[in-house]
């Protein structure tokens, strides 16, 4: 095994650099994305991708293709970060959020409803001077 590591030293160095960049990038990107979520995001019946339906089909297809490709890349990078330095699980979760699949919005809502997650999301939003997220069934 050590022979393999020595033979692929440059590859491991580049993977470590990429992992560190993803780690620091996620420290900046995740709060930025949370602050950008509209407060009524979980109250909406239509997914944000519905805004792309009136656009030209090729433009919509290109947008969805690029977004899903980014999601797959993030998931693969997250899997690599499970053994390399970095936030593997967080990167996998962010990658899942980029993908489009049936039931994704219900999954997002279920995860965000969990009290610790909901408190953390709203704490980050408060730091960004944004109103708290609203959930269905709340008064």
pLDDT digits (tens, 9 = 90+) for 89-104: 777 877 888 888 888 8
Is residue 74 domain-resident?
Answer: yes
The parent domain of residue 48 ranges over 2-127
Q: Name which residue leads in pLDDT, 20 or 67.
A: 67
Q: How far is CA 16 from CA 26, 78, 110, in A?
A: 15, 12, 33
Q: Give the chain's domain count.
A: 1
Q: Look at residue 139 and tell me if it is in a domain.
A: no
**Structural domain includes residue 7:** yes
| Position 132 in a domain | no
Q: Is residue 72 part of a domain?
A: yes
Say which residue, 85 or 12, is predicted with more confidence.
Answer: 12
Angle of the 9-36 helix axis to the 115-127 helix axis, nearest 10: 80
pLDDT band at 108; cut points 50, 70, 90: confident
Mean pLDDT of the chain: 82
* Per-residue pLDDT at 122: 92
Average of per-residue pLDDT across 47-72: 79
* Burial of residue 17, with CB atoms counted within 10 A of its CB: 0-12 exposed, 13-18 middle, 19 or more buried: exposed
Residue 64, in any domain of the structure: yes
The answer as to whether 83 is a domain residue is yes
Q: Does the predicted TM-score (pTM) go above 0.85?
A: no
Above 90 in pLDDT, residue 105? no
Cα-based torsion angle of the residue sequence 112, 115, 121, 124 in order, rounded to the nearest 10 degrees = 180
Q: Is residue 138 part of a domain?
A: no
């Amino acid at each position: 095994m050590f022979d393999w590591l020595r033979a692929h030293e440059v590859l491991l160095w580049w993977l470590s650099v990429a992992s560190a960049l993803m780690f620091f990038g996620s420290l900046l990107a995740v709060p930025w994305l949370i602050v950008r979520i509209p407060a009524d995001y979980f109250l909406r019946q239509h997914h944000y991708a519905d805004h792309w339906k009136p656009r030209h089909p090729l433009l919509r297809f290109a947008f969805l293709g690029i977004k899903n490709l980014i999601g797959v890349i993030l998931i693969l990078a997250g899997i690599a970060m499970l053994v390399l330095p970095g936030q593997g699980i967080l990167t996998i979760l962010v990658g899942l959020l980029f993908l489009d699949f049936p039931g994704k919005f219900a999954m997002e809502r279920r995860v965000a409803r969990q009290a610790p997650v909901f408190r953390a999301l709203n704490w980050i939003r408060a730091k960004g001077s944004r109103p708290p997220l609203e959930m269905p069934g709340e008064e």
